[in-house]
Amino acid sequence: MTHVYQRLLSLYPAAHRREFGDEMRAVFDEANHDSQDKTAAVRASFLAREFAGLIAGALREHVRVLANFDITDILSTRRFNMRNGFRFPKSTAILMTIILLGVIMAIQKGESIANSLPHVNPQIPPIVEGHSALLPPIALYVAFFYALGLIGWIILHALHRSGVHRLDDISEQTK
């Protein structure tokens, strides 16, 4: 995991890596060592939080270096903020899974009905499947977007747990 962390750390601007890179890796090593005796779920949550936090942090630092402003100054007032009102509960994930299964079953049922019908126009040859027999192409597309949504949700969840969404929740009032 340290190897993966090191790779992600290289996403940061060089100046930030020089200043904090060794410290960040050392802190990660300690936290990673601590998480060894935790449950698989806690450990997975820890790693997701670390890696998502690292990617978000690298993006923030690059914007700061390139544009000379802190992205969080803008995000503090206009950013996407996962507040209590914004929830992506487990029930939604289950519902998405049920919908996906329903779509796949409907497509398969439709194909079986189509295959059972006699060919009314003998000049048109029957459709030959050019893709996987396991899943029709449309179902593959649906599965792809579903997986994409799931990954997005995992990243948002990890960011939420990392506290990054609260880090810059500051008002217009200046010190």
Partner 1 sequence: MESLPLTEPVLLILMSLAGQPRHGYSILKDVERMSNGRVLLSTGTLYGALRRLLDDDWIERFEQEDTSRGRQAYRLTPQGRRTLQMEVDRMKQLTRLATMRVASQEK
Phi, psi dihedral angles at 108 (to 5 degrees): -65, -40
Residue 88 C-beta: closest distance to partner 1, Å: 18
Q: How far is the CB of 99 from partner 1 (least distance, A)?
A: 32
- Round to the nearest angstrom and report the end-to-end CA distance of the chain: 40
- 169 touches 76 (CB < 8 A): yes
Interface positions with partner 1 (CB under 8 A): 16, 19-20, 22-31, 49-50, 52-58, 60-61, 70, 73, 161-164, 166-175
Nearer to partner 1, 139 or 164 (CB): 164
For 49-78, give the secondary structure using H, E and C.
HHHHHHHHHHHHHHHHHHHCCCHHHHHHHH
Residue 46 CB, nearest distance to partner 1 (Å)?
Answer: 8
Tokens of 163: 């506290």
Question: On the CB side of 149, how many CA atoms lie within 13 Å of its CA?
Answer: 13
Q: What is the distance between the alpha carbons of residues 131 and 135, in angstroms, rounded to a whole number?
A: 8
Q: In the bound complex, what is the minimum distance in angstroms from residue 22's beta carbon to partner 1?
A: 4
